[in-house]
Structure 1
Amino acid sequence: MVEAEERGVRVLQALPAESETGLSFSGIGDLLDPVLDEALAPLPAGQKRALSRALVHDDDEGPPPDPHAVGVAFLNALRALAENRPIIVAVDDVQWLDAASTGALAYAARRLRAEQVGLLLSRRVPLESMLLDELRRSLLAQRCRDVEVGPLDVGALHHVVQEHLGITLPRPLLAEVHEASGGNPFYALEIVRMLRRTGASVEAGQPLPVPESLHDLVHGRLLALPSESRDFLLAAAAHAHPTISITEAASGVGRDLGLTPAVDARVVELEGQRIRFTHPLLAAGAYETADPLRRTEVHGRLAELLENPEARAWQLAASVDQPDETVAAVLEDAASYASARGAPRPAALLLDRAGELTPADRLDDAHRRTVDAAYLHFESGDSPRAEAQLRDVIAKLPFGGMRARAIMRLARVRSYEMQREAVDLFLQAIEEAEGDREILAVAHEGVSACLFRLRERLEDAVEHAQLAARLGMELGDEALAAEALSSQVVAETLLGRATAAETAIRALELQDAAQHGRVLGQPLFVVTVRYWWTDELAEAHEALLHFLERARELGDESSLPYVLVILGQVEVAMGELEAALVRAVDGQEAAGQSGQNTLAAYHLALEGLVEAQRGRIERARAAAMSALELVPETGGRAAELVASRALGHLELSVGAPDAALAQLEPSVEFVRQEGIAEPSATPFVVDAVEALVELARREDAVELLDWFEGNARRLERASALANCLRCRGLLAAQAGELEDALEAYREALDWHA
């Protein structure tokens, strides 16, 4: 409606409510209220009197208005209003439009022909509307169009919550709200408001509660059913995949008494033997309206009936409320099962409950389960919950191995938020590890990975990675050794070391051991990044698309933003700017939902680079500046380099070489100071050379170009050499050596080919 009004269309809108169905002409009154004087003015006296009386616009006493006269008056009012500009008559919840308004609207709609009047009617399924039925019968088929509005998907729901409530839900919680609301935005907003107000959280084996604002709607519908049917529905709601036989056995209620009334009331429907609630909130309502003791009994019975270890564990989790190590151990095993099948969120919730049910005399087990649960929350994309949980348990632990393990996990979480803090945390874990080789290996690899992301102390990064790889192999943990070798590969590649290729081969030999772990820890992913830097773009692109799908298969939400940002940069190098922009936008959303501000900045920088290359000046500048604003709090060096590259390229393209150099020089000085020699990781150097040429700083341009070209020739980077030759052409042309310039340009084109 907003868009229609922006295009000059006048919108007449009615929002009838169920309580108003008996108020005659209330719908017509709503439609005409903002324009009533304008609508009445051109009407003949009789029509004006009929419409005024129908809308209680005057105090004249007399017989009720003639419905036919009101219909004629309404039709002519619409015709008059539509003479100057188009009109849309919009009725939301048309199933509750009063009968008198329904008659007048139907009369007018049947007689409208060439007038600029359209009707937009919405109806809640499965409720019926007399007006819609009448229009379908009386109008030609080509004049009516039915559009089924389905539920919002998770991405659209994210935008609704963000726009209306100003918050970004972690990806797994957003998915749970989507499931509980059935994709209905109104229900979703109410659920989120309830969660914020009460502090409720998702618990193992239990659905999200029904918001108070929806209690009357949901509970009223359920409480109208016989008690046996509600007991049957409790058993169905307590199980994720209820069947008739399991629900009968768990509830002790037969299908005739339990299922039939619920089906008749459209609370549930059948898909073969499977029972499905017609809306997820009805399942939540069936669960929470039941007596708590009865809920416990049903969960206990389901735990006896179900064979799947994970499904059985969910029931056990909800069937006990006192510490029980036997149950806690079953939940821990089920969490391992869930994690192995690529479901980190359910695994985390099961381990949370296992920690709660661990007896007080087994405190180490409780802490271990809590720490492992927190890291699974992180892997599922809920960084805020993971961080809060880890900080809480660290505060309770004394110096030593268990605390070191928790600190190590926290460092990994923080490495997606604040690199320097993460380095300090990994070093603290090393200090407290008390010789635990697994903690030492993971922490040393973590230091290496963070230094790589900072693009600092890369020599140290190589040493930490080498030590982590050696410890991993000593432990017989090839997956851990593979991740360490992967960190070594990227650091050596940035340094321009010839050993990087050999290290990559060693890492790939361990790919099988790492293929079921998180995507960013797999050697093939890191070698794919190396493909990008070594100009093997087609291979990099294909592999990254595979990893994008693989991360989704594994439920590895924490890896998605990084995969997307590398994929986007590969697509920039391939000239596929539209695709790269989609990656940048999707990546910002994924980073926001998983609480990864470092990656959010990186994706903003990518957006700025794409828009700069598309020539969209203001959008490029806004995105790049937003990225740079996030850099101080995240330490995201890659985001800083890409955003500065975008701004430098932008200034160069608008003929401002001095402004371009001001953006690019700090980046050039930094990479030279840190010994970064990989040309494909420093493409902004070429723009800096071009800016120096345009500013007539020939000696500076030649010196910088000699350094960059020396690395490009040593490492045989075709794209970098092509750019170097283009710069040589610029220098020759500036010196008046036109033949040399043309030859350099020809060579550059040959390298690009």
Structure 2
Amino acid sequence: MVLVERERQLAELAGLLEECLHGTGSVVVLRGPVAVGKTELLHTLAEQVAGDRVRVLAAAASPVERHLSFGLLSQLMHGADPAYARRAEAVMRGGVREEGEVGPQVLEEMSRVFLDMSAGEPLLIEVDDVCHADMDSLQCLLFLARRLRRSRIMLLLSDQDRSGIRHPDFRTELSRHPYCTQIRLAPLTHDGVAALLAHDLDAHVAHSLAPAAFALSGGNPLLVRALAEDWEASTRSAGKEPPTGPVVGDRFAERVVSCLHRLEPDALDVARAVAVVGEATRPELVARLSGVGAIETRALVDLLDESGLLHQGRYRHHAAQDAVLRDFGAPARIAWHRRAAALLHAEGGRSTSIAHQLIAAGEAEQPWAAAVLRESAASATASGQIDFALDCLELAHSLADDEQQRAVSRAVLAETEWRVDPAGAVRHLGALTDASRRGLLTGRQPVAVVEYLLWHGRVDEAAAALDRLAATASGPEAVELDAVRACLELCYPAQRRRTGPGAVPPPRPEPRADGPASLVATALAAVRGDVAVSSDHLGQGLHTDAPLTRIALGLLALARPERLSTVAPWCLPMLADAAGREGPRWGRLFTAARADAALLRGDLAAAGWFASAALDETSRSSWGVLAGAPLACLLITAVETGRYEDAAGYLNMPTPGALLETPFGLRYLRARGQYHLAVGRPYAALSDFRTCGRLVTEWWDDGPRQLPWRVDAAQALVRLERRDEARVLLEEQLDGLPVDDERTLGRALRQLAATLEPHERPSLLNDSVDALQAAGDRLELAHALADLGGAFAANGDSRRARPALRRAWRAAQECHAERLARSLQPGLAGTSSSRAASGGPHLRGDLAAELSAAERRVGGLAAQGHSNRQIAQRLCITVSTVEQHLTQVYRKLRVKNRTDLPVLLDAGENESEVAEPLLTEALFNSSPYSP
């Protein structure tokens, strides 16, 4: 037995028992809320204080036995001497009732049995939860109470607060006796909770858990012990760290239900009504739902508060509320929730409160239910409570009683699921497509169905639905359909050639600003190149109501690297806007766009991180055909960092069948071709690159603004020693290439150099380095520098080979291009005549520590191949000072000349080729989605 904060009460009971032993009988009533330790105190008195000095007759009343005549007295007689037990049994069996009550003769004879027993030995009669006793037993105990003052009987009863409604005469009669003592037990204090926890848990753990345990239990000892048991059970789980806070588990829930079933029936009904009503608890509603009077309901709620089950009329933890609801049984729970919904509707309650009750019931027969659910769904969607909105719409859809109503409700449900997760709308596409074809949908719903189909690669169905809608559209509806058609053509370029001979293509939108759909169409046309639109005009279209179009637009724009600086000011904020307003799944699209931009500037670490975050396991099914964008980024980063097993795993990921009908599929094909090249499969790579070229030629008028697939194909042809074919492709790529496409120019020149003799390569590679440095692509720059260093080395020009290889290795390290960096290390080591002294490409930390900051700057620039005069001009110092610093650097690093300087010597400055594009970086740093 564990008693905490009950020492005073136990001492008082012990004193009364001593008086009983000396012939002064008494009646003691222990009062308090349910489960505050009254039973523990009764047992402790009987076992530790009474001992063998008295005979203990104990019984526990129960609500299920309250209609059993003399049930409580029968329990008490189990501890009596057999002779007295037989005598009492005979009295109870032959009892005569008078007008529904036990006759006086029976009461007198039963009292005489107890008094006669006390003459032989003192009696301690303990009755737990006397409020649940049967009426016949209560009358006998009350008759005895009037006659035990001069006896050796102590009658000890435990009773709950406010439990006198069933037997008001009994409580009143007891309280008027001068030898009746009332002892009240209150819930434990904060310190008491800590002390009780310390009986089961480590003292330090008990102290740390006490505040939260007190808040969860209200000081109810039964619930505190349950929390201790749940915490101990959680620590026994294999491989788990001990929890840092209380664990609300099965024991806690069980004890809550146990407390409830020890309550009076009215209190139990009130407790159940509070659980059903939930957060919207109001005494008036609880009273009507439970069927208990308003005044009594308030009193019973206060009682439940005092017991620790409730706090300010609400359950202290959702686990307690859930346990009470489970205790109902499904049929009763459903009935209670339906009755609560009807009461709330009758009194004009909030639609969301009514909807919660209808959803909890899982059914509704009232004619107003569907309207309430739809209203609640709209309100919940506006406030971001999407899961609740979906629950409302699911139930409303099940209540629809005609074909069109079911179609419209399904469309609303699909639209809400689409906002949470695009994959969620797939299950509705078949029914919605049929409903759209039959004209059952309203408003923008048919257009939304087309967008869902586009997203998930069901392009033929989308095109057919779009044609069907366009045949009858006019005004603003036609403008919006034009925007969707533009998106269709961008996502699935082959659809531009879908119309048959003689068909007139749809008109192109003019750059207008009279509606969101028009602005989206204009922006799409601008990216496609059909019209010229200023950035200010495009910026007006950021807040459109067409999320699919907006997001597809941004990613398609980023799919063209050479246009990043043009489209970034408006497409990246557009993606950020979608991510912030449409839910966490949509945020991954913006993350994927950031991965693309990071890859374009050669930041492999950031690109891989963003792409992995965008395409995690929980979101893969949501991407539809757009999965090609982050998947291609993951493939490229895995290849460039030398993680070929990871790349193979990405290739095994399932992709939509329509992926290769989209520009995203082109990017995926190119990335797959790069993987094939890296693992020594040039024929497979060439096949992928040529497939890209075929699709580009089929979809668009082939030109330098489209995907530069020829550069990749030429790289594969060079690996196959088919240099003439590669040269023809590269010359085609360079023919008419715009002057602002520095990235494609640099890549093409680098591959063109590989088709020439070694002595012809440096000039082209120098031009390639300049172009890629201007483009800000550090990864391609590292490859070009590596080729330039190799060309110099092949021509025997080690003086210029070493700085170029050092710069290439340095750029590869900064990009995290481990594959390239590893391939450069042997060449770097071979260029140094004093490798042992300088530590090869790696700077020895003990020697580098001796250099001053000025010496590191001068030495670093010298290691990059700058002359003394160039270093002097850059650092604004004299040539003589440069020479003096270099002399100290050679001495401290134990090298003979600048060609032996370690490649990792830091110049202390950022070279222009590794500077990030300021515009794009500023946009990223201002985003709420920074890692």
TM-score of the alignment, normalized to the shorter chain, above 0.5: yes
1:413 is paired with a residue whose SS is: helix
Q: Determine the structure 2 residue equivalent to 1:669.
A: 694
User: Is it true that 1:485 corresponds to 2:485 in the alignment?
Assistant: no
2:451 is paired with a residue whose SS is: helix
User: Is it true that 1:413 corresponds to 2:438 in the alignment?
Assistant: no
Judged with a 3 Å threshold, the aligned counterparts in structure 2 of structure 1 residues 652 and 599 are, in CA distance, closer, same or farther, namely: same
Q: Determine the structure 2 residue equivalent to 1:723.
A: 747
Deviations 1:156-202 (A, max 9, x none): xxxxxxxxxxxxxxxxxxxxxxxxxx9x9xx9xxxxxxxxxxxxxxx
Partners of 1:576 and 1:246 in 2: CA distance: 64
Q: Determine the structure 1 residue equivalent to 2:540.
A: 509
Letter in 2 for 1:651: H
Q: Determine the structure 2 residue equivalent to 1:322.
A: 365
Partners of 2:325 and 2:450 in 1: CA distance: 37
Partners of 1:634 and 1:616 in 2: CA distance: 24
Name which of 380, 383, 388 aligns with 2:420: 380
Judged with a 3 Å threshold, the aligned counterparts in structure 2 of structure 1 residues 556 and 746 are, in CA distance, closer, same or farther, namely: closer
User: Is it true that 1:574 corresponds to 2:601 in the alignment?
Assistant: yes
Deviations 1:398-447 (A, max 9, x none): 8346499766544332323224344344346437x644666655555444
Q: Determine the structure 2 residue equivalent to 1:554.
A: 581
Letter in 2 for 1:368: V
Q: Determine the structure 1 residue equivalent to 2:769.
A: 745
Judged with a 3 Å threshold, the aligned counterparts in structure 2 of structure 1 residues 348 and 750 are, in CA distance, closer, same or farther, namely: closer
Partners of 1:707 and 1:483 in 2: CA distance: 34
Judged with a 3 Å threshold, the aligned counterparts in structure 2 of structure 1 residues 379 and 447 are, in CA distance, closer, same or farther, namely: same
2:456 is paired with a residue whose SS is: coil
Letter in 2 for 1:485: T
Name which of 694, 698, 708 aligns with 2:733: 708
Q: Determine the structure 2 residue equivalent to 1:164.
A: none
Deviations 1:299-328 (A, max 9, x none): 23344678655445545777883362x554
Judged with a 3 Å threshold, the aligned counterparts in structure 2 of structure 1 residues 635 and 691 are, in CA distance, closer, same or farther, namely: closer
Question: Contact (CA 8 Å) 2:273, 2:289: kept in 1 or not?
Answer: yes
Q: Determine the structure 1 residue equivalent to 2:343.
A: 301
Q: Determine the structure 2 residue equivalent to 1:57.
A: none
Judged with a 3 Å threshold, the aligned counterparts in structure 2 of structure 1 residues 709 and 466 are, in CA distance, closer, same or farther, namely: farther
> What is the alpha-carbon root mean square deviation over aligned residues?
5.2
Name which of 456, 459, 462 aligns with 1:423: 462
TM-score where L is the length of structure 2: 0.48
Name which of 359, 371, 380 aligns with 2:411: 371
Letter in 2 for 1:339: T
C-alpha deviation, 1:611, in angstroms: 0.9
1:736 is paired with a residue whose SS is: helix
C-alpha deviation, 1:616, in angstroms: 0.8
Deviations 1:620-663 (A, max 9, x none): 12312x25x53436556345323322232233335554443233
Deviations 1:511-535 (A, max 9, x none): 34x2xx3644448x83576367355
Name which of 105, 119, 127 aligns with 2:228: 127
C-alpha deviation, 1:242, in angstroms: 3.8
Structure 2 stretches lacking a partner, 5+ long: 1-198, 203-224, 777-912, 914-931
Partners of 2:458 and 2:234 in 1: CA distance: 62
Judged with a 3 Å threshold, the aligned counterparts in structure 2 of structure 1 residues 555 and 620 are, in CA distance, closer, same or farther, namely: same
The worse-fitting range, judged by mean Cα deviation, of 671-680 and 686-695 is: 671-680
Partners of 2:504 and 2:649 in 1: CA distance: 38
Partners of 2:422 and 2:277 in 1: CA distance: 25
How many residues are paired up? 542
Q: Determine the structure 2 residue equivalent to 1:598.
A: 625
Deviations 1:521-562 (A, max 9, x none): 448x83576367355768988988866765454344663454
C-alpha deviation, 1:241, in angstroms: 3.7
Name which of 565, 568, 574 aligns with 2:592: 565
Question: Contact (CA 8 Å) 1:430, 1:439: kept in 2 or not?
Answer: no
Judged with a 3 Å threshold, the aligned counterparts in structure 2 of structure 1 residues 667 and 242 are, in CA distance, closer, same or farther, namely: same
C-alpha deviation, 1:381, in angstroms: 1.5
C-alpha deviation, 1:376, in angstroms: 2.0
Letter in 1 for 2:455: Y
Name which of 141, 148, 155 aligns with 2:244: 148
Partners of 1:243 and 1:404 in 2: CA distance: 39
1:127 is paired with a residue whose SS is: helix
Partners of 1:423 and 1:132 in 2: CA distance: 55
Letter in 2 for 1:510: G
Q: Determine the structure 1 residue equivalent to 2:872.
A: none
Letter in 2 for 1:321: A
Question: Contact (CA 8 Å) 2:276, 2:336: kept in 1 or not?
Answer: no
The worse-fitting range, judged by mean Cα deviation, of 526-535 and 718-727 is: 526-535
Name which of 285, 289, 296 aligns with 2:326: 285
Q: Determine the structure 1 residue equivalent to 2:486.
A: 448
Question: Contact (CA 8 Å) 1:482, 1:507: kept in 2 or not?
Answer: yes
Partners of 2:408 and 2:686 in 1: CA distance: 52
Q: Determine the structure 2 residue equivalent to 1:660.
A: 685
Partners of 1:259 and 1:347 in 2: CA distance: 34
C-alpha deviation, 1:669, in angstroms: 2.5
Structure 1 stretches lacking a partner, 5+ long: 1-98, 103-123, 136-143, 152-181, 188-213
Question: Contact (CA 8 Å) 1:250, 1:302: kept in 2 or not?
Answer: no
Partners of 1:558 and 1:535 in 2: CA distance: 28
Judged with a 3 Å threshold, the aligned counterparts in structure 2 of structure 1 residues 536 and 503 are, in CA distance, closer, same or farther, namely: closer
Q: How does 1:605-684 map to 2 (within 5 A)?
A: 605-624=632-651, 626-627=652-653, 630-632=655-657, 637-654=662-679, 656-675=681-700, 682=707, 684=709
Deviations 1:312-369 (A, max 9, x none): 5545777883362x55444434433333334444444434444555565xx5445323
TM-score where L is the length of structure 1: 0.58
Question: Contact (CA 8 Å) 1:344, 1:555: kept in 2 or not?
Answer: no
Question: Contact (CA 8 Å) 1:608, 1:620: kept in 2 or not?
Answer: yes
Percent identity reads 17
Q: How does 1:131-210 map to 2 (within 5 A)?
A: 147-148=243-244
The structure with more radius of gyration: 2
Q: Determine the structure 2 residue equivalent to 1:257.
A: 300
Q: How does 1:385-404 map to 2 (within 5 A)?
A: 386-389=425-428, 391-392=430-431, 399-400=438-439, 402=441
Letter in 1 for 2:749: L
Deviations 1:35-64 (A, max 9, x none): xxxxxxxxxxxxxxxxxxxxxxxxxxxxxx
Q: Determine the structure 2 residue equivalent to 1:168.
A: none
